């Protein structure tokens, strides 16, 4: 009468025991994160009551049998599976799978078209493989029920324009680290429940997608390292992004100036919403894949997910061609934790009102054309631990205070009219550093996003 077997996270090795098939009442099997090897035994197909199978984090290989598609949840991540059985192209009529995790294996070739026949999918993770080619139109049949889709770190080159037309339930989408080209698919506008969108490190060549601002639930927008161009502000698309909490558009080709009221409508960054719903960040059956995706620099997979900060609020506009003054309305973003405007062409003075951002932890204004003095009020921000003002035209004294005195000398370099560096740099000033984002700032951003 055995119904559940959970012996995951041990050091068991060898093949999956054939004897499991001798327990016909088994409903759940969790053998994840051991050292099991070999293939999935054919005898397990006899377990007609099985609905949940987790074999993640082992050394399994070979083909994935098609009988698995009749289960409800299948987790095969972090193995060496490389192919699907030929019969997998014919999904059984009794299929009811809602969660399928195939990430971090050795799959190659085009998008598996049999997935188009899985009409009850809620979560699909194909990340960290070598799938390639276009994501086909037929996949739109599966996106009707889909809530979370993770395709990051493959070789996909495009998405059929109509794939997301009916994806009204989609909450999280990660297509980062692929080779997507051309314009951003406009069918995303139908994803009214979309909260997490990660498109970073592709080759998307398009104007900044103002139209995404009309998505009422969008919280996290990551567009880093693409070819987005043009202005970040358009008068015909003002008033969007009301619920945005994290935006990273760094390392693109964005240009133009900001009006003084640019941030006025970014409501979620102004007043923390006590009813903020982050369940899409917590309830994924695939080891919280959204959390894993939020790592702005992927360095391993051993994140302690319960420590990741879901309250983190950040703006990163670095490494573009933005110019003009920093908008005064930025002082309204009282919940902001990280602000990075480095590597642009901003001019004028640093707004004194930045001292009103009492939650600010990291500030990078380096490599711009800012002038005037560093606002002394920044020294009163008790959470501000990382800042960088280097490579500007700043002048006057470096403000006193623990926040400033604890910075690296490089945070103030190449501002020839700044003085008071002796206490920070010592008697011998270091040479001007290479103009790259400070290591301390990048470390702080990663820590905030990964716990």
Q: Which among 194, 185, 84 has a CA at the least distance from the CA of 149?
A: 194
227-250 tens-digit pLDDT: 999 999 887 676 689 999 999 999
3-state SS of 344-361 is CEEEEECCHHHHHCCCCC
Return d(Cα 385, Cα 144) in angstroms, integer: 45
Please check the confidence at residue 342 and state whether its pLDDT lies above 60.
yes
CA distances from 325 to 108, 130, 344, 355 (A): 48, 44, 11, 17
| Domain residue ranges in the chain | 257-272+311-451
CA torsion sign, 271 to 275 to 281 to 282? positive
Share of residues in the chain with pLDDT > 90 (%) = 71
CA–CA gap between residue 398 and residue 379 (Å, rounded): 10
Question: 0.85 cut: is pTM over it?
Answer: yes
Domain 257-272+311-451 is classified in which CATH homologous superfamily? Ribonuclease Inhibitor (3.80.10.10)
pLDDT digits (tens, 9 = 90+) for 274-316: 566 665 555 454 444 444 444 433 333 333 334 456 778 999 9
- pLDDT confidence of 123, banded at 50, 70, 90? very high
pLDDT confidence band for 441 (50 / 70 / 90): low
Minimum mean pLDDT range among 87-96, 267-276, 321-330, 372-381 = 87-96
**How many alpha carbons fall within 13 Å on the CB side of residue 146?**
28
Per DSSP (E only), the strands in 20-154 are 28-30, 35-38, 52-54, 59-64, 73-75, 80-84, 99-101, 108-110, 123-125, 130-135, 148-150
Mean pLDDT, rounded, for 146-170: 95
> For the chain, how many residues are written?
451
């Amino acid at each position: 009468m055995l119904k559940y077997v959970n012996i995951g996270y041990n050091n068991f090795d060898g093949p999956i025991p054939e004897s499991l098939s001798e327990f016909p009442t088994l409903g759940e099997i969790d053998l994840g994160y051991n050292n099991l090897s070999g293939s999935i035994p054919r005898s397990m197909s006899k377990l007609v009551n099985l609905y949940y199978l987790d074999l993640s984090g082992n050394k399994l290989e070979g083909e994935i049998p098609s009988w698995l598609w009749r289960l409800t949840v299948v987790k095969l991540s972090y193995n060496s599976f490389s192919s699907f059985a030929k019969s997998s192209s014919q999904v059984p009529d009794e299929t009811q799978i809602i969660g399928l995790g195939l990430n971090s294996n050795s799959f190659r070739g085009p998008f598996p078209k049999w997935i188009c026949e899985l009409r009850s999918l809620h979560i699909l993770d194909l990340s960290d493989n070598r799938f390639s080619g276009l994501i086909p139109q037929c996949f739109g049949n599966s996106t009707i029920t889909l809530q979370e889709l993770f395709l990051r770190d493959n070789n996909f080159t495009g998405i059929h324009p109509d794939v997301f037309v009916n994806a009204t339930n989609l909450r999280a989408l990660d297509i980062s680290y692929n080779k997507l080209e051309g314009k951003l698919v406009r069918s995303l506008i139908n994803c009214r429940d979309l909260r997490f969108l990660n498109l970073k490190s592709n080759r998307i060549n398009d104007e900044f997608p103002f139209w995404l601002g009309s998505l009422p639930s969008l919280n996290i927008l990551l567009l880093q390292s693409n070819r987005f161009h043009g202005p970040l502000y358009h008068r015909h698309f003002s008033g969007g992004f009301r619920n945005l909490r994290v935006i990273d558009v760094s390392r693109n080709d964005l240009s133009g100036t900001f009006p003084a009221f640019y941030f006025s409508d970014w409501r979620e960054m102004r007043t923390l919403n006590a009813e903020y719903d982050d369940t899409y960040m917590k309830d994924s059956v695939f080891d919280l894949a959204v959390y894993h995706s939020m790592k702005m620099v992927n360095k391993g997979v051993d994140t302690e997910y319960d420590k990741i900060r879901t309250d983190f609020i950040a703006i990163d506009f670095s490494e573009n061609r933005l110019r003009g003054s920093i908008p005064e309305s930025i002082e309204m973003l009282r919940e902001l934790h990280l602000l990075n405007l480095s590597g642009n062409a901003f001019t004028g003075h640093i707004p004194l009102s930045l001292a009103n951002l009492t939650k600010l932890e990291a500030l990078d204004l380096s490599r711009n054309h800012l002038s005037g003095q560093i606002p002394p009020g920044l020294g009163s921000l008790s959470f501000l631990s990382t800042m960088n003002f280097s490579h500007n035209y700043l002048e006057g004294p470096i403000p006193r205070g623990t926040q400033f005195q604890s910075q690296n000398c490089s945070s103030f370099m190449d501002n020839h009219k700044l003085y008071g560096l002796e206490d920070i740099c010592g008697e011998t000033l270091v040479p001007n550093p290479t103009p790259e984002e400070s290591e301390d700032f990048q470390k702080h951003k990663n820590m905030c996003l990964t716990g």
